[in-house]
Amino acid sequence: MIAGVVSCPQPPLLLPGRTGCPVPEVERLRTACLAAIGELLAAGPESVVLIGGIAAAEVDRPAEPVSVRLGRHLLDDAGCSVPIRPVAIRADAGVEECLATGRQLAADAADAADATAAPGRRIGCLVLADGSARRGLKAPGYLDPRAAPFDASIEAALRAGDPAGLAALDAGLAAELLVAGRAAWQVLAGATEGHRFRAETYYLDDPFGVWYPVVAWRPEPAE
Amino acid sequence: MLRLGRHCFADDALLIMAIVNRTPDSFYDRGATYAFDKALDRVAEVVAAGAEIVDIGGVKAAPGEEVDTEEEIRRTAGFVARVRADHPDLLISVDTWRHEVGRAVCQAGADLLNDAWGGHDPRLAEVAAEYDVGLVCTHAGGVVPRTRPHRIDYDDVFADVLARTVGEAERAVALGVPADRVLIDPGHDFGKNTWHSLEITRRLSEMVATGWPVLVSLSNKDFVGETLDLPLEQRLLGTLATTAVCAWQGATVFRAHNIVETRQVLDMVGAIRGSQPPRRVIRGLA
């Protein structure tokens, strides 16, 4: 059912033109995102679910949140020609709400597959999520020594292809550490609950003090 | 007209507010004037270079070591008293957001409270009224002092700047600060990214048009560094270009590190505008 998952970061500086002239560190990140998304699309999904968080300042605005807009741009740049279904979740949504949203996503996809009598209908998933913004003295959120270990726990879950590791993230601590992607990752966790994946990492750096993981999950091959 | 201390300035005045920080860690001077004597020397230097105002600050704007109210007063109030004694006619501004610090430095002789964080402590304006000193009302987007902007955006940054600064100015006057002692400042880089800071610069004439005297604090800031992709120590030319653009549009006070250069830029713009005479015109008239 799931053709694959890509997790990309969600900084506004990845939107087209936002850095003014191209900035090498940002272009390196963009290249990694497009490589991961390109391979996801090459697996031939019939549609892509795009999961992204709604920041507090974006809640009452009519426009799509930055995370979703960015996801659309990245998919477009990677040559996506299949339908995109955005799923926006409040960045401060509780763990249970996120998991439930993810489970519903998976259930809807299963129902749709049954309805069209199309076994093996394959959905790709792009999650826009980044880690802590408090990773150093020059970071936007300054330095919090808890940031690196928290991000390390996210990295471990991503590398292990383990949705349960993402489901276990502490929402309160994530909020204190300005981990913008916690809710989106937990929607992913709900949607992929019970499955395991092989992970490939494309980028794990923090050039500006915010953690930007680019990781792809592919379904474990059937026995 | 802008009235600070015992001085009156015309609407087209171009004044320099020289930064003298009593901090060990501010971004540009990095502790150069933390020591009392070094700071006093710097005051004498900037006065000689043509600054009408000195702005004394005890807490760096960026995140870092906490400086509580008591420590901030320790760094500033005694120094203000000494500068007042040494330079009776010099206008003394203090860069603080805290009303307790405001009170202490006004008692020591300060003429102006420069609140860079936009009224975070609403009682600071009351202190300005109580002591009949000036107040700078700065736009900072409502952020907590000493935090960096993180993914801040505005539907219309300039509308937000006008609403907040003019709102603060009107509130100050309602509390008893004389209207001719109030300035507004768009707050370059405070709660803003480079795009925002460029826009407020581009549209500064609309801020001047409100009638409140405008102060700008541009010196060596990140919006200059990001525009030109230059590190801190190479931002003087970009700062001076921005200074000229703001002066041309009618800003009144320029908060600066580099006084000699800023004075030349302002004198040049003043003469081009026709609001101040060139110094020595002989050529072609002899």
- CATH number for position A148: 3.40.830.10
Does the residue B74 lie in any domain?
A: yes
- The enclosing H or E element of A142 equals none
pLDDT tens digit sequence for B74-119: 999 999 999 999 999 999 999 999 999 999 999 999 999 999 999 9
> Between A61, A66, A141, which is nearest B150 by CB?
A141
Mean per-residue pLDDT over chain A, rounded: 95
**How far, in Å, CA of A157 to CA of A199, rounded?**
10
Nearest CA in chain B to A61: B155
> Between B150, B153, B226, which is nearest A140 by CB?
B150
Mean pLDDT within A165-174: 98
Determine the residue among B27, B150, B156 to mutate to test chain A binding: the one whose Cβ has the most chain A Cβ atoms within 10 Å: B150
Mean pLDDT within A6-34: 98
What the block records as the tokens of B171 is: 């509130």
The 3-state secondary structure of chain B, one letter per residue? CEEECCEEECCCCCEEEEEEECCCCCCCCCCCCCCHHHHHHHHHHHHHCCCCEEEEECCCCCCCCCCCHHHHHHHHHHHHHHHHHHCCCCEEEEECCCHHHHHHHHHCCCCEEEECCCCCCCHHHHHHHHHCCEEEEECCCCCCCCCCCCCCCCCCHHHHHHHHHHHHHHHHHHHCCCHHHEEEECCCCCCCCHHHHHHHHHCHHHHHCCCCCEEEECCCCHHHHHHHCCCHHHCHHHHHHHHHHHHHCCCCEEEECCHHHHHHHHHHHHHHHCCCCCCCCCCCCC
Give bridge partners of residue B4 from the DSSP assignment: B7
Instruction: Look up residue A80 and give its amino acid.
Output: C
Mean per-residue pLDDT over chain B, rounded: 97
Query: Comparing C-alpha atoms, which of A171, A178, A174, A175 is closest to residue A143?
Result: A178
- The enclosing H or E element of A47 equals strand A47-54
Does the residue B147 lie in any domain?
A: yes
Helix pair B157-175, B194-202: axis angle to 10 deg: 70
- Say if the Cβ atoms of A140 and B63 lie within 8 Å: no
Under 8 Å CB-to-CB from B10, ≥6 apart: which residues?
B1, B275
| pLDDT for residue B30 | 83
Helix pair B99-107, B69-86: axis angle to 10 deg: 20
- Say if the Cβ atoms of A133 and B150 lie within 8 Å: yes
- Say if the Cβ atoms of B153 and A141 lie within 8 Å: no
Tell me the pLDDT band of A121, cut-offs 50, 70 and 90. Answer: low
**How far, in Å, CA of B282 to CA of B286, rounded?**
6
pLDDT tens digit sequence for B130-173: 999 999 999 999 999 999 999 999 999 999 999 999 999 999 99
pLDDT tens digit sequence for A44-100: 999 999 999 999 999 989 999 999 999 999 999 999 999 999 999 999 999 999 999
Question: How many distinct structural domains can be found in chain B?
Answer: 1
**How far, in Å, CA of A156 to CA of A177, rounded?**
18
Q: Is residue B230 within 8 angstroms of chain A, CB to CB? A: no
pLDDT tens digit sequence for A38-49: 999 999 999 999
**What is the domain-level CATH number for residue B118?**
3.20.20.20
- Say if the Cβ atoms of A140 and B148 lie within 8 Å: yes
Q: For the CA atoms of chain B, what is the radius of gyration?
A: 18
Does the residue B285 lie in any domain?
A: no
Nearest CA in chain B to A17: B195
Residue with tokens 């929607």: A187
Give the predicted TM-score (pTM) of the model.
0.95
| pLDDT for residue A76 | 98
Contacts of A57 in chain B (CB under 8 A): 151-153
Contacts of B151 in chain A (CB under 8 A): 11-12, 55, 57, 66, 140, 180
Does the residue B126 lie in any domain?
A: yes
- Say if the Cβ atoms of A20 and B152 lie within 8 Å: no
Distance of CA B97 to the CA centre of its chain: 13
Q: What is the ipTM of this complex?
A: 0.93
| pLDDT for residue B83 | 98
| pLDDT for residue A223 | 52
| pLDDT for residue A58 | 96
- Say if the Cβ atoms of B194 and A178 lie within 8 Å: no
| pLDDT for residue A111 | 79
Does the residue B279 lie in any domain?
A: no
Nearest CA in chain A to B27: A138
The alpha-carbon gap from A119 to the nearest alpha carbon of chain B, in Å, equals 42
**Domain limits for position A99:** 2-219
Query: Comparing C-alpha atoms, which of A123, A2, A8 is closest to residue A75?
Result: A8
Contacts of A66 in chain B (CB under 8 A): 151
Does the residue B26 lie in any domain?
A: yes
- Say if the Cβ atoms of B148 and A66 lie within 8 Å: no
Dihedral sign, Cα of residue B189, residue B195, residue B200, residue B201: positive
A131 vs A40, A74, A193, B152, B261, CA distance in Å? 22, 19, 21, 17, 43
Using a 10 angstrom Cβ sphere, with 0-12 exposed, 13-18 middle and 19 or more buried, the burial of residue A127 is buried
Query: Comparing C-alpha atoms, which of B80, B68, B120 is closest to residue B104?
Result: B80
**Domain limits for position B150:** 2-273
The alpha-carbon gap from B76 to the nearest alpha carbon of chain A, in Å, equals 26
Does the residue B67 lie in any domain?
A: yes
Tell me the pLDDT band of B29, cut-offs 50, 70 and 90. Answer: confident
Question: How many distinct structural domains can be found in chain A?
Answer: 1
A14 vs A20, A54, A151, B174, B224, CA distance in Å? 11, 17, 20, 45, 21
| pLDDT for residue A182 | 98
